Each structure stands twice: as structure tokens, then as C-alpha cells.
């Protein structure tokens, strides 16, 4: 029983030693790896391919020879195994082993030892290591002690063991190169000799490296020998019967199990997905860089409180304490510059009073933290000047009317209309006082006055220079008067033109005659056209023969109402269904015919004394009309839109939608492709007829209603006048290049008129040849603005 | 000499010497004085008067105008010296001249606006009026002749200088808005009642109102500018002209008791202006200057009928006159309150050499003094007549007697300014000393 134990112990010891040895070899290996590789080993590599381990060991031996570094492990290994008893045997063995050695005399002693081992494996393998008794008897002393000596120690007999002569490195290398077994040789410093490992040794090392038992014949799985006597003895130690709990399943355990099972099922116990607890503590003063990353680049972290300094200590040192002068000086500072805290000294911590601003300050801090928007605003740094459209300066756009030099005074009521003669020598004006005056432009002299008797709506001078005629709209009449300014021959022509026989009695069968009558005007010596409604606007055609008049005309005019009533009573009297229906149809068709031919716009021909209706239907009340300056196109503006008709083809060409509240006037550019529309909400719309039916530009300039807009005949100027007593002069250049949009530049605001009864400037007209503007004001003055 | 004790301490002093070109009673001893610099021209005038008073026994106060280095003094002396960069160290020569200010203003009333006036003849004043009548005034309020015949307002009048000096009859021409020009002949004799006379010649040819008229210096021809953009040249002397262009015609309406009236036609027409020719001047025998509402001033060669100078300036012109230095400077005014003066001899540029601004409204008339190189009279719609000296930017004198627009102004007898306006007044401001 004891032997196997010993054997085990021995084997354990062996294993320990071998492990140590292997450690040593490992160290050497590492050293080799660290040191520069020796070319000597190259040959070995080539020779021994499959035995990488042995190859390594070969290099180990070499390195061992080169570096004589005695390691403690070695000493320990060796010294611990010293057994003096077996020394003799050892020697004997050595001698004896020479014969059956491998034939190399060099490491014969060790070999012998080993072979001894192998021979005595059966019984006394325990002293296998011990048998290799060291020659040297110095014990476990550092070998440096003998470094300078000629001996390395003493043998058993007490004689000095001499150091062997050092082989030359070259020689040793050559020898190792020649010797095929050199990789097995290890230099033993302690005994100063080379030891050659036997095949058994290498096998043992290999087995150890593989993690097996060092000895080949050790069986780790040998059958277990049960040495305990299990059969019942006659006299047991205790004769107590087997307790019940030994063979009954435990009730409490099953309860516990059940409880756990229920807990699992109900999910009270979870296995893996337990959340990792985050600590509630964080560093208040830590850098917030990670936070800013999370919130984006625009986020600005809230500023932190200033860390308390020495002055906020309850017992600050003397230099922080303010003197009375300093406190007084602080009191003189403005509130925001004053330091928040005046350091105070307290003897004890307990005498520090409560901080009186604690609540308000922390409240302010909280407000700051959650109400203050802390985000970096992306501010676009643009000079607003650059956003403005690049307009030419006003100096480049001269001449334009700027200053008022002349006033034409004489009217006694608001001047509603002003018109210029085509050469620009005279102007004519009509006023609410019922007079029409002709003025000399140059001096402001009133040449002639007509007293019409009714408030004059509009005065228009004939565009032909050889026909100095005035068309005057006043009340329900339109007068065409001779100004008498032409030469004698012209006067004769005009007299012939204006010669009209007295009107015949209105003929009901003819529609035209029913509402317009041409007749001579006895009082002023011209032609008088009687309309059935108030004429608000008149306009000459450019050839001076046609004249258009506008009457804002309701469908349900009084005479129509009368017809309607008549039919209605008729229906009641007859009381017959079919007939009633027939009459109703008649009435409707009559109404439709009225609608189709708008009666509110009339065109008169002066040479033939004829009146025509325009054959178009109008929706809404007409406000202003205009002839195209070149083509036979007619513009009518209602309160909402502007309709463009072709007079030759007799159809609607275009409908312009200004999108303003109420159109008050229109004007056509002399080239005919651009229209300006003034509205009663103070907006001026410029239409490019080729571009769109929407305005090209809308200028919101006037504060009150625009009364009139006007183009200059030759200069690129247009103007608008308004009830806010101003007239705006604007530059409006139209390019012949179709790709270039019109250039519109505001130039000047002309003031000077006074307001009267809420009206301001009622009319404006450019001088036909000069860049001058005539404005007619409600203050009964006409002003001339010159460049 | 004690000047002003109180002021002297507080201001710097300069050494001045008074000089003058005036005759002996106005001469001062050529001694230099120290005067304070903060005084103005009135105080300087007082000083000169004080000096003169010491020399002459019965001295009457005479205001003087002060000229330093050829410029009129209009600010205080100190400011003037600083502005002109004149050193106060040296003795400053101060020239004094008599103040240009009318001493007497006489007014003759018309029936309507006075639109034209001509004072080129010393013996009488010719005026045109909006009632279509021309008038000859001997002196203030003494109307000798009434020129009757125009059916429209007279716009312009001119005196035709006779070919032979000392001729018995005086020739004048008027232009009117009735598109005609009329030539009148009268003897300058005195008469108690205004004598109504008729034109001996009616010149018709313009298609629109005639705006201005001017006579050749020799008196042979007249030219007229009109609203029909043309300048017509007419034979002025009808009596000795051939009958080829004159068609004699009896004046039926007058009852046949008057001398015959002849109608004349234009000799030639100068075409080039695009708008109303508002003013024509005929300063030399072969040259006509014209100003127009088309913003240009042109110089015409009478022989060829071409314009040799076409000066464009951005304003519409109402008036034009030639005079000044060697009678070549062009002065013109128009639809702005500035009188511009050009030198056409200056090559390459059409920039005005002087711009006289003092008026507040349109300039209706401007005339050079026919003896002086510097003096100019202007009338404006602001109701003021101003007398200018080219040596100063300020008007020398302002005649403020009109209540409304002044339509015309001229020099008369070298020392008077006559002007007519919308208030139907003809003002004669006499006693204006030029040099």
C-alpha cells in the first residue's frame, strides 16, 4: 500500500523537476529568440526537418555553451537532488554504462546514469535522479564565487575539480556542426561538463510537453482497487434504524421548487436580461463635450456656476475682507457692476447665516436653464443693400419732372381733369365748378373759359394737331367744342366738321337713335351728344375721328324696370300660363340682347356723326377705356379686370387680371405692349401684354386711392396720382429686345397739392414733348412740374 | 480815425487801402488803414463815406459796393479773405464802386399782361401786351402811340435800327400769337393823346404762334421763331423792297382812310429745331442765334441757312441773348431758375462757364447790357428782376416791384431797367449805375 504512494510522490517530484527543467529550456528558447539567430543552426534546420523540438534543443545547447549564466533554478534542481548515498553507485554505473552507450564518449557519465535508470525502472526508480550524483560538492552556492578560481569545486574526496579548458567558440561551433548529436548536448555549469541527453530523456521531455505523465509506463487509468471492507461487520458502530427522511422525498424542497417554478412562470425571476444599474452619481464639473456631440453642433451648453473661491469661505483670509472705503466705493457703482458677494468672516461654521439670495438665485438659475434658448443661431450675414435690385441711379434717368414752377389758378372747384394739346402749347382742364378752361402752358394764362353748367368729368384734347377740338364729358352730355386755336383754314374745316343738323325726334325703332342724339350746342358752338346716363370717361382714338364714351350702366335701368313691371301686370291680368311663358321668354331674350351688346361703352364717329355699341358682353361696371396707340385694339377696364378687344375681328383677345380691389384707371404704353393699371387700394400694376395676364410688377406706393395713371408719349416715364396729395413719377423703360423685361425705377414723389374734401390729386398728364407733368388737384390748382 | 472802438479789441485787424476808379469827389487819399476783419460791406461803405466826408464839405451819403481782387464782397471781410486765401499780412486793396441799385422806380399800367419790352432805342420804350396792342412810351406813363392790329397777344417786339441814322420814321416789329408779324412805322414826335397807328406791313407765313422776333443789326431784315419749329427771315423794309414778294392790298375794314397795308412772305426759313423756337437773337449781320424748347441753342448762318453750332443742354429755353465779353457770350434761361452763360469760343466743351442762380422759378428773360461786359438783367416768374455782375455769384440788385410773374425785361438808356409782367405793369427802374 505504501509503495504506490511513494511511487506517486516520486513521480510528482520528477514531474516538478522536469517542469523546472522545461522552464529552463523555455527560458533558453526565449533567449535564443531574443538573440541574433546564428547561422550555425541553419544547417540543422536543413538536416532535421520533422523534429522541430530537437532542433530547438540543439540551438539551446549552443546558446547554453555560449552564455554561461548559471540560473538559480538549475542549482536548486541539482542541489535538491543531491544524494550522497548513491554517489558511489553512480560512479560505478558510469563506468559500466560505457559499454552499452551510444558510442559517444563525451557524455558517458550522464548516459550511464540514465541507462541505470532504465535498468532499474522495475523496482527502484525512485532514486533515478539522485543517482546522478554531482561530482561537485560545493553545495548550493553561487558559481560566481568560483569564477576567478581554477577549480569549480571539490569532489567527494575533497580534491579540487579543475575547470575544463574553454573551447574556442569557433572550434565548438565547428564541432557542433560536425557532430550530429550536438543538439542533445547540454552544458552543465555546476559540474562543468557537457551532458548528452539520451533518447529516453528526449522522449520524456516530449511526453511532458504533450502533457502526459513523464513515464511511459504510467497508466493514469488503471483500475481502482477498493481497499475498504464494505461488507457489514458483526458489530456496527450504531444500530439505529434508517431514518425516514433518508428515503422519502423532501416536502420542503418540493415546495421551494414549486415556488421557484411559479416565480419563473410569472416572470418574477429573470435570468439574463437584468438591466445594468447606472450609478446616479455623475461629475457635475466634468466637461460637457460628449453632451454637445449628442445635441448637435448648434447646442450651446448652459454656463456653469463659478466654483466657489477663497472669498466665499466662511472664514476667508484677511486680504479678502473689504475695508469700509471699498464697500462705500462699491455702493457708488451701478447695480450691475457691483460685486455680488462681499466676503465676511465668521469665527465658527455654525455662526454662518443662511444665504438670503439662495432661493432667488437658484430660481433664476432654473429659469435660465430651462427657458433660455441655447442654440447657436445660424445668422446669415448679408448686407441688405446687396439684396436690393440693382437699379440705375436717378441721375442717369434724367430728365424727369422734379420741381413745380408754374401753377394754373382760376378754377373755383376741384379740377377733375387736365389734358394737353398735342404740340404742348396749351392745356385744357375741367372742374367740378362746371367750367372748362384752356391755359397757355408757357405763362399760365387762361385763354378761354367755357361754363358748361354741370360738373365736368373729363376733358380730352383731340390728338390731331390740326383739329384743336375738346371733348368734354359733363353730366349726361358729351360736348365737342372748338377751341379756336387753329389757323383760319383749319377753323373752316372744323366748323364744317362740327356742323350738325338739329336732331330729329327720337325714333324708337332704331336702337342707336334711342339713346344717343347728336345735336348742335347752341351755347358754346359745338356738338352735343346726349347720353341717357352719366358719362364718366371719354377717350379719343389716335386718328382723332373716333371717340369712346363710358357710362357705368346697370342692366336693370329704370326703363327696363318699367318694361318688367308692364309685363308683370300684363301677366296678372291675362292669367294665362302659355302666354305668360311666351312673354317671359321675350323679356329674357331682350335682356340677353342687351347684355351681349354692352350699352355702357359707346364709340362715336365724328366725321359721320355715328354712334356704335361695342359688340361684346361686359361683366361689371366699366371704369376706364383706351385705344391701342398703334393697332385697332380697344381696352376696357371694369372694376375687376381689363379686357382687350380686337376691333377688326370683333373678339376678346385677352383678359388682364390685376388682382386689386378696384381698378380706377388704365394707361397704355406708346408702344402698345405694356399697360399700367391704377387701383383704388393704392396699387399700381404693370402688365406686359406679351408676358402674362398677371401683372409683371405691382407697386404698392400710394396710401390712398390712385386716381389716374399716365404714360409719357416719348420719354420713358409714367406716373400715378392719388388722393394722398402726391404724384409718383417712375421710370418705365421698355426694351425692343423681347428677352429683356421692362425696367421700372421709382424716381420722384411730387408733393404740393393740398387735400380738399378728402381728395388729393385728381388727374395727371405728361407734357407731350417735355418731361413735364401737369397735375390737377382737388385744391382747384393745376401744377406743372418741370425737370 | 476812430472806426469802432468796441469791436477792435475782440477781432483781428488788417491793413487796407481804399482805391477807386471813380471821379475826384469820390477819391480817397491813398493811405492805408487798420480795420477789424469782422465787418461787412455796409460797414466798409460807411468807412469810405466817413473818409470822403472829411474831405468834402457838403457830402451826401453814397452807398458803395466793395470789390476785392475783382470779386464783390458779399460776406464778412474775414470770411472772404479766408475763402479766397488772401493773406491778412499784406495791405489789402479795397476797391469801391457805386452800388447798383435803382434810385427811382416808375410804373406805367397796361390793360393786360405786358409780354414784351424793348428798350434798345433811347427815345422810347416799345412794349407788347396780351390785349394784342403794342405801345410806344415816351417816358413813364406817357404813351405816344398804340400799335393796333394784332388779333392775338403780342409775344415779342423789337426795334428795327434804321439803315440811315437820323431817319424821320422809326421802324418797329411785333410778333403775335395770331401767327403773324407786323411792321410799324411812326414818327417819334410828341403828341398829347396816344395815337393809334396801323401796321404798314403784315408778315404771314408761320403755322403757329410766333414766339420771338429779332432784327438784323443793319435793320434790313427781321427773323422770327415760332411754335411751328421754324425760324423765318423777312424783309423788314417794305417801302423800297421790290414788288415781287409784296402784294399790295387795301385794308377794307378800316374804311380806306388809312395808308395801305402790304402782306409779306418769308424770305427764307431755317429749319432744324424740333420744338417751339422760343427766342431768336440777331447780333451780327450773318449770324442768328436761336433757343428752343427742344433743349438746344443753335447758331445759324444766314447765307447758307445751316446751323453752325448746335449746343444741347437739358433744359427748355425761354430766352437767349448774346453779349458780354467781345459780344460773344451766350446767356440763356429757361425752365429752371438758373441762368447759364456759355462761351462758344471755348473748344470742345458745351459746359456753361457761369451759372447764375438766384431766382426761384423759370427765367423769362435775360439781356446783356450793351456797354458793359459784365452786366446782365434777368426776369423770372418768381416776380423778381435781377441785375447780375459776372464777377460775383450774387445778384447785384434785385428789383422787386412786380407782384406776379415778370415776363420781360430789358435795359434802357444804359442806366435803367424796364420790365413788364403779369401784373400789367411796366416798371422803369432808373438810376442804375453800371461802372
Instruction: Give pLDDT tens digits for B191-221.
Output: 667 778 888 888 888 888 898 999 888 888 8
Q: Which residues of A touch B (CB under 8 A)?
A: 398-399, 403, 405-406, 423-425, 442-445, 487, 769-770, 772, 786-787
- Indicate the burial class of A158 (C-beta count within 10 angstroms; 0-12, 13-18, 19 or more): exposed
* Interface contacts A/B by beta carbons within 8 Å: 51
B317 touches chain A (CB under 8 A): no
Q: Which of A572, A597, A622 is the last residue of a domain?
A: A597
Of B130, B335, B407, the CB nearest to A405: B335
How far apart are the CA of B208 and the nearest CA of chain A, in angstroms? 8
Q: In this predicted model, which residue has the larger pLDDT, B418 or A38?
A: B418
B354 and B386 housed in the same domain: yes
B176 and B224 housed in the same domain: yes
pLDDT given at position A571:
52
pLDDT given at position A35:
46
C-alpha distances in angstroms, A490 versus A493, A497, A541, A759?
5, 10, 20, 39
CB-based contact A559:A514 (threshold 8 Å):
no
**Position B6 in a domain:** no
**Position B435 in a domain:** no
pLDDT tens sequence across A675-686: 999 998 888 999
Q: Which of A565, A597, A629 is the last residue of a domain?
A: A597
How far apart are the CA of B46 and the nearest CA of chain A, in angstroms? 40
**Position B114 in a domain:** yes
Cis peptide before A399, with omega less than 30 degrees from 0? yes
Strand arrangement, sheet containing B317-323: B317-323, B329-334, B338-342, B354-357
pLDDT given at position A166:
72
Of A405, A425, A772, the CB nearest to B227: A425
State the residue for C-alpha cell 522545461: A22
A670 and A748 housed in the same domain: yes
pLDDT given at position B104:
67
CB-based contact B288:B213 (threshold 8 Å):
no
Q: Which of A179, A209, A239 is the last residue of a domain?
A: A209
CB-based contact A24:A72 (threshold 8 Å):
no
How far apart are the CA of A393 and the nearest CA of chain B, in angstroms? 17
Count Cα atoms within 13 angstroms, Cβ side, for B13.
14
**Position A372 in a domain:** no
Task: State how far the Cα of A686 lies from the Cα of A695, in Å rounded to an integer.
Answer: 6
Task: State how far the Cα of A108 lies from the Cα of A93, in Å rounded to an integer.
Answer: 10
Q: Which of B98, B118, B144 is the last residue of a domain?
A: B98
**Position B283 in a domain:** yes
**Position B146 in a domain:** yes
pTM above 0.90, yes or no: no
Question: Chain A partners of B337 at a C-beta cutoff of 8 Å?
Answer: 405
Task: Count CB atoms within 10 A of the CB of residue B428.
Answer: 24
CB-based contact A731:A400 (threshold 8 Å):
yes
**Position A217 in a domain:** no
Inspect the interface and report whether the beta carbons of B227 and A787 lie closer than 8 Å: no
pLDDT confidence band for B425 (50 / 70 / 90): confident
Residue A754 reports pLDDT greater than 50: yes
Task: State how far the Cα of A766 lies from the Cα of A772, in Å rounded to an integer.
Answer: 6
B27 and B156 housed in the same domain: no
A510 and A624 housed in the same domain: yes
pLDDT tens sequence across A373-399: 877 777 788 888 888 878 888 888 888
Mean pLDDT over A273-294 rounds to: 67
A44 and A114 housed in the same domain: yes
- If one counts the domains in chain A, the total is 4
pLDDT given at position B65:
79
C-alpha distances in angstroms, B200 versus A306, A749, B158, B258?
111, 53, 15, 10
pLDDT confidence band for A106 (50 / 70 / 90): very low
β-partners of residue A774 are A765, A784
A605 and A573 housed in the same domain: no
- If one counts the domains in chain B, the total is 2
Q: In this predicted model, which residue has the larger pLDDT, A500 or A465?
A: A465
B422 and B302 housed in the same domain: yes
The radius of gyration computed from the CA coordinates of chain A, to the nearest angstrom, equals 65
State the residue for C-alpha cell 462705500: A328
CB-based contact A762:A415 (threshold 8 Å):
yes
**Position A654 in a domain:** yes
CB-based contact A432:A413 (threshold 8 Å):
yes
**A725: CB partners within 8 A, 6+ apart:** A751, A753, A754, A755, A760, A761, A777
Question: Chain B partners of A403 at a C-beta cutoff of 8 Å?
Answer: 336
If we measure between CA atoms, which residue out of B391, B353, B372 comes closest to residue B71? B391
Count Cα atoms within 13 angstroms, Cβ side, for A622.
29
Mean pLDDT over A416-426 rounds to: 89
A85 and A149 housed in the same domain: yes
CB-based contact A465:A483 (threshold 8 Å):
no
Of B113, B115, B335, the CB nearest to A786: B335
**Position A395 in a domain:** no
Task: State how far the Cα of A600 lies from the Cα of A607, in Å rounded to an integer.
Answer: 22
A438 and A572 housed in the same domain: no
A451 and A584 housed in the same domain: no
Question: Which of B151, B337, B362 would best serve as a mutation to test chain A binding (most A beta carbons within 10 A)?
Answer: B362
**Position A260 in a domain:** no
B64 and B108 housed in the same domain: no
Of B227, B316, B362, the CB nearest to A770: B316
CB-based contact A630:A669 (threshold 8 Å):
no
Domain CATH number, residue B40: 3.10.20.90
If we measure between CA atoms, which residue out of A158, A694, A667, A764 comes closest to residue A420? A764
Q: pLDDT averaged over chain A?
A: 75
If we measure between CA atoms, which residue out of A635, A598, A647 comes closest to residue A620? A598
pLDDT given at position A261:
94
How far apart are the CA of A405 and the nearest CA of chain B, in angstroms? 5
State which of A343-352, A373-382, B132-141 shows the largest mean pLDDT: A343-352
**A740: CB partners within 8 A, 6+ apart:** none
Of B179, B362, B422, the CB nearest to A405: B362
**Position A11 in a domain:** yes
B57 and B108 housed in the same domain: no
pLDDT tens sequence across A61-97: 444 444 444 444 444 333 334 444 444 444 444 433 3
Q: In this predicted model, which residue has the larger pLDDT, B320 or B110?
A: B320
CB within 8 Å of chain A, chain B residues 209-268: 209, 227
State which of A159-168, A300-309, A533-542, B156-165 shows the largest mean pLDDT: A533-542
C-alpha distances in angstroms, B418 versus B128, B139, B153, B223?
13, 11, 20, 23
Q: Which of B98, B119, B136 is the last residue of a domain?
A: B98
**Position B292 in a domain:** yes
Q: Looking at B164-260, which runs of residues are DSSP E strands? A: 169-176, 180-187, 195-198, 201-204, 210-215, 221-226, 230-235, 247-249
Q: Which domain holds residue A607?
A: 403-553+598-786
B120 and B90 housed in the same domain: no
pLDDT given at position B239:
52
B146 and B215 housed in the same domain: yes
A570 and A620 housed in the same domain: no
**Position B5 in a domain:** no
- Indicate the burial class of A429 (C-beta count within 10 angstroms; 0-12, 13-18, 19 or more): buried
Residue A39 reports pLDDT greater than 50: no
**Position A280 in a domain:** no
pLDDT tens sequence across A185-198: 888 877 778 888 88
ipTM over 0.85: no
Of A424, A443, A772, the CB nearest to B405: A443
A474 and A340 housed in the same domain: no
Q: Which domain holds residue B307?
A: 104-430
**Position A272 in a domain:** no
Q: pLDDT averaged over chain B?
A: 80
B249 and B132 housed in the same domain: yes
Q: Which of B81, B98, B115 is the last residue of a domain?
A: B98
CB-based contact B296:B273 (threshold 8 Å):
yes
Domain CATH number, residue B130: 2.130.10.10
**Position B91 in a domain:** yes
A152 and A42 housed in the same domain: yes
**B331: CB partners within 8 A, 6+ apart:** B320, B321, B322, B323, B324, B339, B340, B341, B366, B368, B376
Inspect the interface and report whether the beta carbons of A443 and B316 lie closer than 8 Å: no
B259 and B130 housed in the same domain: yes
pLDDT given at position A1:
40
Residue A8 reports pLDDT greater than 70: no
A313 and A295 housed in the same domain: yes
pLDDT tens sequence across A613-627: 877 777 778 888 888
C-alpha distances in angstroms, A150 versus A134, A141, A165, A194, A195?
18, 16, 10, 18, 21
pLDDT given at position A80:
39
Q: In this predicted model, which residue has the larger pLDDT, A539 or B349?
A: A539
CB within 8 Å of chain A, chain B residues 1-60: none
CA angle A370, A376, A377 (to 5 degrees): 110
B89 and B122 housed in the same domain: no
B111 and B20 housed in the same domain: no
A613 and A750 housed in the same domain: yes
pLDDT tens sequence across A216-246: 888 888 888 888 877 777 777 787 888 888 8
Percent of chain A with pLDDT over 90: 8
Amino acid at each position: 500500500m505504501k509503495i504506490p504512494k511513494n511511487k506517486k510522490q516520486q513521480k510528482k517530484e520528477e514531474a516538478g523537476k522536469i517542469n523546472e527543467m522545461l522552464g529552463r529550456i523555455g527560458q533558453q528558447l526565449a533567449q535564443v529568440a531574443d538573440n541574433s539567430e546564428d547561422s550555425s543552426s541553419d544547417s540543422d534546420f536543413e538536416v532535421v526537418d520533422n523534429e522541430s523540438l530537437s532542433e530547438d534543443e540543439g540551438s539551446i545547447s549552443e546558446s547554453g555553451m555560449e552564455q554561461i549564466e548559471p540560473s538559480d533554478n538549475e542549482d536548486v534542481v541539482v542541489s535538491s537532488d543531491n544524494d550522497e548515498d548513491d554517489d558511489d553507485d553512480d560512479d560505478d554505473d558510469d563506468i559500466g554504462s560505457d559499454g552499452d552507450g551510444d558510442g559517444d564518449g563525451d557524455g558517458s557519465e550522464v548516459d550511464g546514469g540514465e541507462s541505470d535508470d532504465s535498468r532499474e525502472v522495475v523496482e527502484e526508480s525512485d532514486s533515478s535522479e539522485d543517482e546522478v550524483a554531482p561530482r561537485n560538492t560545493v553545495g548550493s552556492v553561487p558559481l560566481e564565487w568560483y569564477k576567478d578560481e581554477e577549480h569549480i569545486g571539490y569532489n567527494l574526496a575533497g580534491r579540487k575539480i579543475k575547470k575544463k579548458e574553454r573551447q574556442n567558440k569557433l572550434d565548438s561551433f565547428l564541432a557542433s556542426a560536425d557532430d550530429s548529436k550536438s543538439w542533445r548536448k547540454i552544458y552543465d555549469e555546476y559540474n562543468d561538463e557537457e551532458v548528452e541527453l539520451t533518447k529516453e530523456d528526449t522522449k520524456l521531455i516530449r511526453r511532458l510537453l504533450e502533457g502526459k505523465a513523464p513515464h511511459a509506463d504510467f497508466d493514469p487509468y488503471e483500475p481502482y482497487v477498493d481497499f475498504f471492507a464494505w461488507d457489514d461487520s458483526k458489530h456496527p458502530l450504531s444500530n439505529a434504524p434508517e431514518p425516514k427522511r433518508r428515503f422519502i422525498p423532501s416536502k420542503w424542497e418540493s415546495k421551494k421548487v414549486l415556488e421557484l417554478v411559479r416565480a419563473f412562470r410569472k416572470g418574477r425571476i429573470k435570468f439574463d436580461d437584468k438591466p445594468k444599474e447606472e450609478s446616479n452619481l455623475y461629475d457635475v464639473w466634468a466637461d460637457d463635450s460628449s453632451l454637445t456631440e449628442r445635441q448637435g453642433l448648434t447646442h450651446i451648453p448652459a454656463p456653469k456656476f463659478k466654483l466657489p473661491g477663497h472669498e466665499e469661505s466662511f472664514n476667508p483670509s484677511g486680504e479678502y475682507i473689504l475695508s469700509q472705503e471699498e464697500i462705500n466705493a462699491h455702493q457708488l457703482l451701478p447695480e450691475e457692476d457691483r460685486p455680488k458677494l462681499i466676503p465676511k468672516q465668521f469665527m465658527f461654521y455654525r455662526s454662518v447665516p443662511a444665504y438670503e439670495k439662495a432661493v432667488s438665485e437658484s430660481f433664476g438659475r432654473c429659469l435660465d436653464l430651462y427657458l433660455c434658448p441655447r442654440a447657436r443661431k445660424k445668422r446669415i450675414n448679408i448686407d441688405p443693400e446687396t439684396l436690393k435690385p440693382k437699379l440705375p441711379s436717378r441721375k442717369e434717368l434724367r430728365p424727369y419732372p422734379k420741381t413745380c414752377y408754374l401753377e394754373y389758378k382760376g378754377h373755383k372747384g376741384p379740377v377733375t381733369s387736365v389734358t394737353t394739346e398735342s404740340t404742348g402749347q396749351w392745356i385744357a382742364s375741367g372742374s367740378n365748378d362746371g367750367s372748362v378752361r384752356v391755359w397757355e402752358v408757357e405763362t399760365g394764362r387762361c385763354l378761354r373759359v367755357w361754363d358748361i353748367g354741370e360738373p365736368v368729368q373729363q376733358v380730352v384734347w383731340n390728338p390731331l394737331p390740326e383739329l384743336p377740338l375738346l371733348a368734354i364729358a359733363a353730366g349726361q352730355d358729351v360736348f365737342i367744342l372748338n377751341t379756336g386755336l387753329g389757323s383760319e383754314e383749319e377753323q373752316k374745316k372744323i366748323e364744317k366738321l362740327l356742323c350738325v343738323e338739329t336732331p330729329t325726334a327720337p325714333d324708337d325703332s332704331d336702337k342707336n337713335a334711342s339713346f344717343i342724339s347728336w345735336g348742335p350746342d347752341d351755347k358754346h358752338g359745338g356738338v352735343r351728344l346726349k347720353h341717357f346716363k352719366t358719362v364718366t370717361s371719354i377717350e379719343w382714338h389716335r386718328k382723332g375721328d373716333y371717340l369712346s364714351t363710358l357710362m357705368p350702366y346697370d342692366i336693370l335701368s329704370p326703363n327696363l324696370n318699367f318694361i318688367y313691371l308692364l309685363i308683370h301686370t300684363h301677366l296678372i291680368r291675362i292669367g294665362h300660363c302659355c302666354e305668360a311663358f311666351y312673354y317671359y321668354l321675350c323679356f329674357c331674350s331682350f335682356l340677353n340682347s342687351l347684355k351681349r351688346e354692352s350699352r355702357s361703352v359707346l364709340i362715336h364717329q365724328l366725321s359721320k356723326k355715328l354712334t356704335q355699341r361695342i359688340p361684346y358682353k361686359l361683366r361689371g361696371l366699366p371704369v376706364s377705356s383706351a385705344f391701342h396707340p398703334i393697332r385697332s385694339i380697344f381696352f376696357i377696364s371694369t372694376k375687376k379686370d381689363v379686357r382687350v378687344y380686337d376691333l377688326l375681328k370683333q373678339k376678346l383677345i385677352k383678359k388682364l387680371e390685376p388682382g386689386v380691389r378696384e381698378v380706377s384707371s388704365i394707361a397704355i404704353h406708346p408702344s402698345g405692349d405694356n399697360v399700367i393699371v391704377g387701383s383704388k387700394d393704392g396699387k399700381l400694376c404693370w402688365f406686359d401684354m406679351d408676358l402674362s395676364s398677371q401683372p409683371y410688377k405691382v407697386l404698392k406706393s400710394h396710401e390712398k386711392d390712385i386716381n389716374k395713371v399716365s404714360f409719357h408719349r416719348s420719354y420713358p416715364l409714367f406716373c400715378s396720382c392719388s388722393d394722398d396729395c402726391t404724384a409718383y413719377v417712375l421710370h418705365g423703360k421698355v426694351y425692343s429686345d423681347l428677352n429683356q423685361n421692362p425696367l421700372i425705377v421709382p424716381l420722384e414723389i411730387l408733393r404740393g397739392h393740398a387735400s380738399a374734401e378728402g381728395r388729393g390729386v385728381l388727374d395727371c398728364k405728361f407734357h407731350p414733348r417735355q418731361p413735364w407733368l401737369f397735375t390737377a388737384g382737388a385744391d382747384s390748382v393745376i401744377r406743372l412740374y418741370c425737370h | 480815425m476812430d472806426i469802432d472802438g468796441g469791436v477792435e479789441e475782440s477781432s483781428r485787424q488788417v491793413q487796407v487801402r481804399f482805391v477807386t476808379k471813380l471821379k475826384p469827389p469820390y477819391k480817397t487819399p491813398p493811405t492805408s488803414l487798420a480795420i477789424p476783419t469782422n465787418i461787412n460791406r455796409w460797414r466798409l461803405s460807411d468807412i469810405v463815406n466817413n473818409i470822403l466826408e472829411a474831405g468834402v464839405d457838403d457830402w451826401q451819403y453814397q452807398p458803395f459796393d466793395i470789390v476785392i481782387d475783382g470779386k464783390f464782397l458779399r460776406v464778412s471781410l474775414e470770411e472772404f479773405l479766408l475763402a479766397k486765401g488772401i493773406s491778412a499780412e499784406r495791405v489789402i486793396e479795397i476797391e469801391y464802386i457805386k452800388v447798383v441799385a435803382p434810385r427811382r422806380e416808375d410804373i406805367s399800367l397796361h390793360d393786360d399782361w405786358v409780354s414784351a419790352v424793348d428798350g434798345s432805342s433811347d427815345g422810347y420804350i416799345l412794349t407788347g401786351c396780351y390785349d394784342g396792342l403794342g405801345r410806344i412810351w415816351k417816358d413813364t406813363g406817357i404813351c405816344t402811340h398804340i400799335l393796333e392790329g394784332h388779333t392775338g397777344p403780342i409775344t415779342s417786339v423789337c426795334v428795327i435800327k434804321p439803315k440811315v441814322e437820323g431817319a424821320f420814321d422809326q421802324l418797329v416789329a411785333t410778333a403775335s400769337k395770331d401767327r403773324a408779324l407786323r411792321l410799324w412805322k411812326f414818327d417819334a414826335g410828341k403828341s398829347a393823346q396816344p395815337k393809334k397807328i396801323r401796321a404798314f406791313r403784315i408778315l404771314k407765313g408761320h403755322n403757329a404762334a410766333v414766339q420771338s422776333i429779332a432784327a438784323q443789326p443793319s435793320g434790313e431784315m427781321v427773323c422770327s421763331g415760332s411754335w411751328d419749329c421754324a425760324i423765318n427771315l423777312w424783309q423788314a423794309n417794305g417801302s423800297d423792297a421790290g414788288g415781287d414778294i409784296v402784294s399790295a392790298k387795301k385794308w377794307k375794314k378800316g374804311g380806306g382812310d388809312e395808308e395801305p397795308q402790304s402782306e409779306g412772305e418769308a424770305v427764307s426759313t431755317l429749319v432744324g429745331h424740333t420744338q417751339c423756337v422760343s427766342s431768336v437773337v440777331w447780333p451780327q449781320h450773318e449770324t442768328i442765334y436761336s433757343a428752343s424748347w427742344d433743349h438746344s441753342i443753335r447758331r445759324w448762318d444766314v447765307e447758307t441757312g445751316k446751323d453752325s453750332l448746335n449746343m444741347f443742354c437739358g433744359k427748355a429755353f425761354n430766352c437767349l441773348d448774346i453779349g458780354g465779353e467781345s459780344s460773344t457770350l451766350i446767356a440763356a434761361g429757361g425752365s429752371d431758375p438758373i441762368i447759364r452763360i456759355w462761351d462758344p469760343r471755348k473748344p470742345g466743351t458745351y459746359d456753361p462757364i457761369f451759372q447764375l442762380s438766384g431766382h426761384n422759378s423759370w427765367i423769362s428773360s435775360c439781356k446783356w447790357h450793351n456797354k458793359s461786359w459784365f452786366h446782365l438783367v434777368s426776369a423770372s416768374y418768381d416776380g423778381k428782376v435781377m441785375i447780375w455782375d459776372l464777377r460775383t455769384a450774387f445778384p447785384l440788385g434785385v428789383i422787386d416791384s412786380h407782384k406776379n410773374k415778370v415776363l420781360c425785361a430789358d435795359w434802357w438808356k444804359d442806366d435803367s431797367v424796364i420790365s413788364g409782367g403779369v401784373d400789367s405793369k411796366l416798371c422803369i427802374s432808373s438810376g442804375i449805375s453800371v461802372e
